[in-house]
Amino acid sequence: MALTIHAADELRPSWDGPEVVAGGAVVVEGDRVAATGSVAELVERFPGARVRRWRGVLGPALVHGGPLPEAPTPRERVHGLLKLGAVACLAEYADTPELRAAAGRNDVAVLPRVRVATIVAGGRADLAVFAAGGGCVATVCGGRLVHRR
């Protein structure tokens, strides 16, 4: 299975967004996190891995706690979540069969309540990169790059 190292170029301990990945890089294998650490360490440990460098701060993808973004179709509403850096939403807001189906097709989790998002080795590879202003630069959902700008 192909390995991808996602690496952020900004490491700011005062970041007020989601938890920052220690060392600034994550190795993704399939839909799982294989390792976290510094870019140099991970490139050495996983020499054949593709490296994606992002301008921003790398951390866990978000759980969206409010209504899904407005859009003409359920698919576009779910894509709106991914553009925000979210890979999960609350069941109360995915309240139609069409929205739940669109979420399922995109591996977006529909949860009964908000949970703390983390990145851990062996866990599902859900991560996001955020710019200094807070906007989402990239979203990885279940190991797949689903949004980038």
For 11-31, what is the mean pLDDT?
68
Average pLDDT (28-47) is: 94
CA distances from 133 to 15, 18, 57, 137 (A): 11, 13, 11, 10
Three-state DSSP at 25 gives strand
Predicted confidence band of residue 14 (pLDDT cuts 50, 70, 90): very low
**What whole-number distance in Å separates Cα of residue 136 and Cα of residue 47?**
28
For 118-128, write each residue's pLDDT tens digit. 888 999 999 99
Q: Which of 14-23, 42-51, 78-87, 103-112 has the lowest mean pLDDT?
A: 14-23
Q: What is the pTM of this model?
A: 0.90
Residue 21 has pLDDT above 90, yes or no: no
Return the SS3 of 44. helix
pLDDT in the model for residue 48: 94
Q: What is the pLDDT of residue 132?
A: 78
Q: 97-105 and 74-83 are packed helices; what angle lies between their axes, rounded to 10 degrees?
A: 50
The tokens describing 22, both together, are 């220690």
| Domains with residue ranges and CATH for the chain | 3-61+119-148 (2.30.40.10), 63-111 (no CATH)
Encode pLDDT of 70-86 as tens digits. 999 999 999 999 999 99
Alpha-carbon distance of 7 to 21, in angstroms, equals 9
88 forms beta bridges with 63, 109
